[in-house]
A and B are shown apart, each in its own frame.
Chain A
Amino acid sequence: MIRRLLQVDFMKMKRKGFWFLTFLGPFGVVALQMVNYGLRKDYLLQQSEDNWGHYLGNITVFTPLALVLGIVILTSFIASVENETNAWKQLLALPVSKLSVYLSKFTVLAGLLFVSSILLAVFTLSFGIFLNLGEQIPWIELLKDSFYPFFAGLPVLALHLWIATVSTNQGIPITVGVLGTILTYSSYVLPDWVIWKWPSLNNGWNEPVINVWLGIGIGLLLYIGGMLDFARRDVK
């Protein structure tokens, strides 16, 4: 059943800009550095001996912000697809369980964000090679910077999918998203338990991988909470 629900969700996404956004997020993050390095490459290369490290550092300034905003936009979009046409009733009148409808939406969005992470790695690598930053490509760091934020951001995805699906007024999830973005932007002053801090991969232990495990664990819990609440509610 879940496979066919996924097919349905992918069909509903057609020509609504989901794939465009999936591409735009990682492209935008690297494009900002294209402008940055395009304008003052010499100055930026002088900043550090480790050109690749400095370049990856510049990229990771924007990755968490783009990820959190991308989550806000995608979850609101996927809820709007049903809200605008009052399709929740029709969808749930089919012989499908509410739990699997919710699982399907979550899987689709997680899939899109994962594709974004792959694209981020590809774009980062390509532009880095183009800049001629040196022979020693830091593969491990590159992959960490591209994929860790995705896992660390799963709790935000679970939370926003829940808020967006239960809100009839999509202004609410967007406002929460703006506040979350502010938290992500100020992550350096936040305590480690704030989920919006996790995509920045900072924590008191200086171990980015902790944010990955926290993201998967807490993300799963928030997902289950949201799913159970969604199943309990009436739809309009």
Chain B
Amino acid sequence: MLFSIIQSEWYKLRKSKIIFIILAGPLVGLFTGLNSNIAAENGELNKWYFIFMMMTLTYALLFLPLVTGVLAGFICRYEHQEGGWKQLLSLPVTRGRVYMAKFILLMGLVFFIQLLFLASLYTAGLIKGVQDPFPMQIVWKSIFGGWIATFPLVALQLWMSMIWKSFAAPFTVNVIGTLPAILAVNSETFGPIYPWGQPFLMMYIGGGTDAVFFIPWEQVLGVVGGSFLIFFTGGLLYFKRKMV
């Protein structure tokens, strides 16, 4: 049953303007990639690293956290119009499964955006004429890590988007969380525990490159996993009790 709800969610999304949002990701990637000044880096460092670091700086710090909110708003848009929640929930579906379906579809979309971002890195590198070997393993680690880090943010934004009809209100919550991340990721005390900073910390090539992710497991499980559990359960409980 879950699968058919996901299908119907996808069906509702397909003809909406969601494609503009999805294409915004690689657009930001290309923009920052082509603006990176790789000529300045003439040391031993692989030029792909340099271009990728420049790209993740803007993408993972601002774009990725902000776009989760826009996607979540889109996925609840049909239901907020003309009694859509009533129609959807009068079908023989449980609220828990509807919530799961929306969440799974959102995570699928974020993953797709991550893949397009990877493609934009490759394109930017080709245009810039980077000759070095492509560090596939490290870049995958970053793409995948960034995706993991958006789990709590997507859960919170789905919750907020279910509460409010307007796009602007959940977006405000998102902005309040995201802007401080610019400062937080520079701090050794706050950076590791700030959920909105994690997409950057998990995407930025730095830290321990021999582990599975760029940040320690305790941080992945404790901060990303912990905040995900709180936001996901909060959203689920809210939705189960929501008056439609």
Chains A and B come from one and the same complex: yes
Q: Do B70 and A181 touch (CB < 8 A)?
A: no
Chain B contacts for A174, CB-based, 8 A = 69-70, 73, 167-168, 171
Distance in Å: Cβ of B90 to nearest Cβ of chain A = 22
Bound state CA distance, A84 and B168, in angstroms? 12
Chain A contacts for B58, CB-based, 8 A = 182, 185-186
Q: Do A175 and B172 touch (CB < 8 A)?
A: no
The answer to whether A171 and B179 touch (CB under 8 A), given A39-B189, A80-B167, A178-B66, is no
Identify the closest chain A residue to B37 (Cβ): A189
Q: Is A36 an interface position by the 8 A CB rule?
A: yes
Interchain CB contact (< 8 A) of A76 among B28, B74, B166, B179:
B166
Q: Is A17 an interface position by the 8 A CB rule?
A: yes
Q: Do B20 and A172 touch (CB < 8 A)?
A: yes
Q: Is B165 an interface position by the 8 A CB rule?
A: yes
Chain A contacts for B77, CB-based, 8 A = 169, 171
The answer to whether A178 and B17 touch (CB under 8 A), given A84-B166, A171-B73, A171-B77, is no
In A182-230, the 8 Å CB interface with B consists of: 182, 185-186, 189
| Category for how many chain A residues contact B | 20 to 34
Q: Is the interface of A mostly helix, strand, loop or mixed?
A: helix
Q: Do A182 and B179 touch (CB < 8 A)?
A: no
Chain A contacts for B175, CB-based, 8 A = 69, 73
Bound state CA distance, A185 and B17, in angstroms? 25
Q: Is A120 an interface position by the 8 A CB rule?
A: no
Residues 80-107 of chain B, each 1 if its beta carbon lies under 8 Å from chain A, else 0: 0000000000000000000000000000
Residues 1-34 of chain B, each 1 if its beta carbon lies under 8 Å from chain A, else 0: 0000000000000001100110010011001100
In B171-186, the 8 Å CB interface with A consists of: 171-172, 175-176, 179-180, 182-183
Q: Do B21 and A181 touch (CB < 8 A)?
A: no
Bound state CA distance, A170 and B74, in angstroms? 9
Residues 37-61 of chain A, each 1 if its beta carbon lies under 8 Å from chain B, else 0: 0010000000000000000000001
Interchain CB contact (< 8 A) of A170 among B63, B66, B167:
B167
Q: Do A178 and B167 touch (CB < 8 A)?
A: no
Q: Is B119 an interface position by the 8 A CB rule?
A: no
Chain B contacts for A35, CB-based, 8 A = 180, 183
Chain A contacts for B69, CB-based, 8 A = 174
Q: Is A62 an interface position by the 8 A CB rule?
A: yes
Bound state CA distance, A174 and B169, in angstroms? 11
Of the A-B pairs whose beta carbons lie under 8 Å apart in the complex, a sample of 28, sorted by A's number, is A17-B169, A17-B172, A28-B179, A32-B179, A39-B189, A62-B179, A62-B182, A73-B168, A76-B168, A80-B165, A84-B166, A169-B16, A170-B167, A170-B168, A171-B17, A171-B21, A171-B77, A172-B20, A174-B167, A174-B171, A175-B20, A175-B24, A179-B24, A179-B27, A182-B31, A185-B58, A186-B31, A186-B32
